[in-house]
Structure 1
Amino acid sequence: MGQLTTSTRAGRVAVMMTAAALTFGVAGCGFASSEATVIAEINVSSPQLRDEAPLPADYSCKKPPGVSPPLRWSSEPLPRAKSIAIVADNSAPSESAVHWVLYNIDPRTTELGEDAASSPPDDSGQARVTGGKAGYEAPCSPTGNYRFTVYALSGRVDVKEGAPLPEILKKIADQTIARGRLTAVHIE
């Protein structure tokens, strides 16, 4: 690998800080607040992924085109939910990156098929991820911890087209009322 440029280093730092902020914000951890926010749980599954098992090569850069995996989710009734967001990231500290952010999914939706990133649900949006691509950027690191997190939100993610990733992630964190996660431990 070549040397990192200043902008690449700054981008990685921004992604790590954003991921930390999203984690703390969604978990209800606040440095200035003593009240924790209660976050309901969403059960996330997939016909192709198993929690804590390897990410199948079809959903990685190892087997082009590396499409987004099918996902399903369920929870207790969430009458306050106004939209759903999905964030796929690599949580390995040395290689953290965001691979997919799909937001403003209709709250009645409970699953997405394989390659939903190429044909996203009506009225949804996809963020430009760490690598600069809008949509699903197939993971490449064989040792990553790839997390597919589903968030139920109290509102829509209201951003202008092309909004920066940190802004979109913050809006997701600020509106989260429920979440669930499916984690692949590396690429098969």
Structure 2
Amino acid sequence: MTEAKRAPLPHDFHPPAPSFTVASDDIEPGEVLKDAQVQAGGNTSPALRWEGFPAETKSFAVTCFDPDAPTGSGFWHWVVFDIPVSVTELPAGAGSGAFEGLPSGALQARNDAGSKDFTGAAPPPGDGPHRYVFTVYAVDSEKLGPGDDVSPAVVGFNLRFHTLARGHLIGEYENHG
């Protein structure tokens, strides 16, 4: 990937925050995403689990962002928030539009494809490798504030002021197509 393509991560625009551990059986940090997390191969959100977040955490948010999308503003693939503090993992497929696997009360905002679900990796053919940043945010309130019919930018705005800590995994995918 050329230096010009190394766009900032979404957290680079937020105040520094402590980190905690995020793990997945579906994503190896820095490795190529599995077919299940690719739009043409399964379009399935990965299983995620987390630990080591601050004791004062009251809820969580999970996002997936491609900073390398050729849009000038990246591409939000998944935005879910108001996950109860008692939930420290999401199963594979929790980001489906059927909301199976999401805990009661959790909300999915529209992604940049316009749907309230996980949209798998689908970079343009020949655009080089893209990074997919899966971030879990520890939030200082049970409810982040916005409803589920907002843009990822509105959720990000609220997260800027309510994040206690965050952890992330980054996978890559390139469409050689």
User: Counterparts of 1:20-99 in structure 2 under 5 Å?
Assistant: 23-25=12-14, 27-28=15-16, 39-64=17-42, 66-76=43-53, 78-92=54-68, 94-95=70-71, 96-99=74-77
CA distances 1:129-158 after superposition (whole Å, capped 9, x unpaired)? 111111111121172100100100111211
Residue by residue over 1:100-126, the C-alpha shift from the partner in whole angstroms, topping out at 9 and shown as x without a partner, is 001000112111111011312110000
In structure 2, the residue matched to 1:178 is 165
Contact 1:57–1:187 under 8 Å retained in 2: no
Indicate which of 114, 133, 139 corresponds to 1:147: 133
Runs of 4+ off more than 3 Å: none
Aligned residues: 158
Write the deviation string for residues 24-73 of structure 1: whole angstroms up to 9, x where unpaired: 22x33xxxxxxxxxx22111110121000000011111213x11010111
User: Secondary structure of the equivalent of 2:130?
Assistant: coil
Change (3 A) 1:45 1:165: same
Map of 2:119 onto structure 1: 137
**Alpha-carbon distance between aligned partners in 2 of 1:115 and 1:178, rounded to the nearest angstrom:** 25
Q: Which amino acid aligns with 1:133?
A: S
The one-letter code of the counterpart of 1:85 is A
Larger Rg: 1
Q: Distance in 2 between matches of 1:55 and 1:187?
A: 9
Check conservation: 1:70, 1:111, Cα contact below 8 A: yes
State the identity %.
23
Structure with the larger helix share: 1
Give the TM-score, by structure 2 length.
Answer: 0.81
For 1:47 and 1:179, the matched residues in 2 are separated by 19
- Which sections of structure 2, spanning at least 5 residues, go unmatched? 1-6
Does the 8 A contact of 2:25 with 2:47 survive in 1?
yes
Shift, 1:94, TM fit = 2.9
Q: Which residue of 1 aligns with 2:4?
A: none
Unaligned runs of 5+ in 1: 1-15, 29-38
User: Over the residues paired in the alignment, what is the CA RMSD in angstroms?
Assistant: 2.2
